[in-house]
Amino acid sequence: MLNELIRSLTPKVAAFRRDIHAHPELAFNETRTADKVAEYLERIGLTVHRGLAKTGVVASLSGGTSPRSIGLRADMDALPLQELNSFPHHSKYPGKMHACGHDGHTALLLGAAEALVQTKNFDGTVVFIFQPAEEGDGGGRVMVEEGLFERFPMDMVFGLHNWPGLPAGSFGVTEGPVMAGTDRFEITLTGRGGHAAMPHQAIDTILAGSALVQALQSLVSRNTDPQEAAVVSVTRFHAGHADNVLPETALLGGTVRSLTPELQEKLEDGMHRICSGIAATFRVQVELDYTHGYPPTINAADPTFIAREVARQVADGAPVFTHLKPSMGAEDFAYLAQVVQGCYVWLGNGAGEGGCMLHSPHYDFNDEIIGTGIRYWVRLVEKALAVSG
């Protein structure tokens, strides 16, 4: 019955997905996409709430009498990237592309909402969350700040991302950290500019900066448990203009990645400590500007247990991986999972054209996994909000 229903919905969901793919919109500007999403939800009889995080769309569906509630989240934004595909549904907008499959995530969740409206085989409330600006601008964080969980109380929240490289229709459901926390830093060194031939009369920021770059590498190699993952990358180092002048200032910047909030904090503390040490050693002024980006995405035990059981049920012979290595990329589902316990799964997208990864100009969401994706969402709701008795 469910399989038949999903089979009948799939062509419509695929067409919707391709339309969104052809009309990609960037962070907080997903107006056409949000209109289409709202239209779809209204057409299947749901009340739509708009305006959270500017372009966010939320709708809920209740069955039975239980006060239990879960959230299902999809992301709607595209990337500032020129698409190099030539199939008919390629991007119509220059310099914008759905290269991360958020078109697919959005379509899948709409298909699931439609199936759930028809089957309603659950006891509780399911909240459908369509968030803007996942790709770096923290649309999920803004939705939380603007009261997502106050307006739509939830006991658990679930996310799904397609994953190229995993076999089509397979799942990755791993408890604990699955995506990294990502921080940025900028360090300004101020010394005393002077003649390159009289270094004793100057305070050399290039030497101090070079020592700093080296010392920062000890944060991972000497201060982090070798069994834990962390990255410190200095990606910018700007100083000086002439061969005979020692520059007064130097500027360094880069990124820090880690998989737990504890380590994230420890790396920030360590960076402050090393900066102070370099300042004392080389008599420079060191100003560190450290910015927290997305926190690590951490899958909680209970929702992960449910997600894993459901993935096994719907994978239809495709593998369900339960111990995948986390990705050092980041995901703003993390902000939702910080407030209520959550689980974020990977749905295999297959090898893809030429085996291309997310954010490739050749990427496309695989429409063949739509059925599995919808089935996953529906069965997840039926399990998390199971009708008792």
Contacts with Ni ion, residue ranges (CB under 5 A):
100
CB of residue 358 to Ni ion, shortest distance in Å: 6
Residue 246 vs 369, nearer CB to Ni ion: 369
Residue 106 vs 260, nearer CB to Ni ion: 106
CB of residue 78 to Ni ion, shortest distance in Å: 10
Beta bridge partners, 95, equal: none
Residue 27 vs 100, nearer CB to Ni ion: 100
CB of residue 102 to Ni ion, shortest distance in Å: 6
Q: How buried is 87 (Cβ within 10 angstroms: 0-12 exposed, 13-18 middle, 19+ buried)?
A: exposed
**CA–CA gap between residue 107 and residue 36 (Å, rounded):** 10
Residue 268 vs 332, nearer CB to Ni ion: 332
Of 307, 306, 195, give the one whose Cα is nearest residue 245. Answer: 195
**CA–CA gap between residue 98 and residue 320 (Å, rounded):** 26
CB of residue 100 to Ni ion, shortest distance in Å: 3
Residue of minimal Cβ distance to Ni ion: 100
Residue 100 vs 113, nearer CB to Ni ion: 100
CB of residue 134 to Ni ion, shortest distance in Å: 6
DSSP conformation class of 323: S
CB of residue 354 to Ni ion, shortest distance in Å: 19
Q: Label residues 363-372 b or e (16+ Cβ within 10 Å = b).
A: bbbbbebbbb
Of 271, 278, 279, give the one whose Cα is nearest residue 232. Answer: 271
| DSSP track, 117-173 | HHH---SEEEEEEEES--SSS-HHHHHHHTTHHHHS--SEEEEEEEEETSPTT-EE-
Residue 6 vs 76, nearer CB to Ni ion: 76
Alpha-helical segments (H) within the chain: 2-22, 31-43, 102-119, 139-145, 148-151, 205-216, 218-221, 261-282, 301-314, 333-339, 370-384
Residue 100 vs 229, nearer CB to Ni ion: 100
